[in-house]
Amino acid sequence: MEVLVASIPALIAAVVSLITFFSNKNNSILNTVKALEERQIAMENSLDYERAAQARTRILRFNNEIMCGYRHTKDSFDDVIQNSIDVYEKYYNDPKHVNLKNGIAKSAIKNIYRVYDYNVQHNSFLQYPKEGE
């Protein structure tokens, strides 16, 4: 019995050592996971920014074509509205991006919608040639 009682402090010390070892390992693993999460968030933010920047470029190019007198089909307008303007506005209307400047794109978007509305009212979109023409 005395041997058992005498070995309790050693047993407790061993258990504390194991807990400390696994705790340090756990902290190391948690720190690694946190670092990976932060990198993933940074990459997602960068990807979102790149998507918005590409959408902005498409918007400005499309508006420039309109201003140069090029006509577009309804499909082309629908594509730029759904895949560029909507993407761009979603990014820039996010409260995290309130300090970003986008005045030129806003004007281009307004003009694209103005021309789109005119074409809808006057049925004047560029039409695909009919078969045989």
- Within a domain: 130: no
Domain count, the chain: 1
Instruction: Assess if residue 131 is contained within a domain.
Output: no
Is residue 127 a part of any domain in this protein? no
Instruction: Give the C-alpha separation, 64 to 54, whole Å.
Output: 15
Average confidence score pLDDT of the chain: 86
Residue 49 lies in a domain: yes
Rounded CA separation 20/13 (Å): 10
The CA angle 72-78-84, to the nearest 5 degrees, is 105
Residue-wise pLDDT for 63-115, tens only, equals 999 999 999 999 999 999 999 999 999 998 888 876 667 789 999 999 999 99
Whole-number Å distance between alpha carbons of 46 and 52: 10
More confident residue, 69 or 21: 69
Q: Indicate whether 18 belongs to any domain.
A: yes
For 42, the domain range is 2-122
43 occurs within a structural domain? yes
